[in-house]
Amino acid sequence: MIKKLNKLVAGLIIGIFSILVGCVVWQVISRYVLGAPSIATDEIARFLFMWVGLIGAAYAMGLKQHLAIDLLLMRQKGKRKIGLQLFILAVMLIFAVSVLIYSGMQLVIDTYLSGQVSPSLGISMGWVYLCLPLSGGIMLVYLVAEITHNLQQLTKLEGI
């Protein structure tokens, strides 16, 4: 399941990033070659940058390629190391659920209900902010899988 999620998320990031690059290239061409800057592509690029950054962060976390200060973790062994890993994963889970998913959904709903739209495209900002709960959901799946794996390792060490 995680391998399928990795492929899906990687494909999504590649697609979003490709569109982002296309928008930026068109923005440069329209501004410096044609002399008429495209306002819409500037806004699209900003929104896609948010999406690729947040979905990319979730993907990096799932691949364990995210920024981590593991000085204390590397000094531990056995049950203590797994226990510390579980604590770290629990903190990450709380962040993903409370900030990204819950608060992100609140932001999406509030901006949608208030009718807030983007200045040049006129799309609901709720669609733009949807990257917050989506990235939180992706992180949640990765975190649950990693917590399950660590609990299995702990069970093996304890011989239960």
CB within 8 Å of 10: residues ≥ 6 apart: 59
DSSP secondary structure, the chain, as one string: -HHHHHHHHHHHHHHHHHHHHHHHHHHHIIIIISS---HHHHHHHHHHHHHHHHHHHHHHHHTT-S----HHHHT--HHHHHHHHHHHHHHHHHHIIIIIIIIHHHHHHHHHHHT-B-TTT--BHHHHHTHHHHHHHHHHHHHHHHHHHHHHHHHHHHT-
Q: What is the per-residue pLDDT for 36?
A: 87
Place of tokens 């992706």: 138
CB within 8 Å of 125: residues ≥ 6 apart: 111, 112, 116, 117, 118
Q: In whole angstroms, give the CA distance from residue 142 to residue 95.
A: 13
Q: What is the per-residue pLDDT for 20?
A: 97
Residue 70 pLDDT level (bands cut at 50, 70, 90) = confident
Q: What is the per-residue pLDDT for 110?
A: 96
pLDDT above 90: residue 72: no
Q: In whole angstroms, give the CA distance from residue 8 to residue 95.
A: 23
Using one digit for the tens of pLDDT, what is the confidence trace for 88-111?
Answer: 999 999 999 999 999 999 999 999
Place of tokens 């949640």: 140
pLDDT above 90: residue 128: yes
Q: What is the mean pLDDT of residues 11-34?
A: 95
pLDDT above 70: residue 160: no
Residue 1 pLDDT level (bands cut at 50, 70, 90) = confident
Residue 159 pLDDT level (bands cut at 50, 70, 90) = low
pLDDT above 90: residue 115: yes
Q: In this structure, what token pair is assigned to residue 87?
A: 């604590």
The pTM assigned to this predicted structure is: 0.87
Instruction: State the average pLDDT for the chain.
Output: 92
Closest CA to 144 of 80, 81, 86: 86
Using one digit for the tens of pLDDT, what is the confidence trace for 28-68?
Answer: 999 999 988 888 999 999 999 999 999 999 999 999 888 77
CB within 8 Å of 84: residues ≥ 6 apart: 72, 73, 76
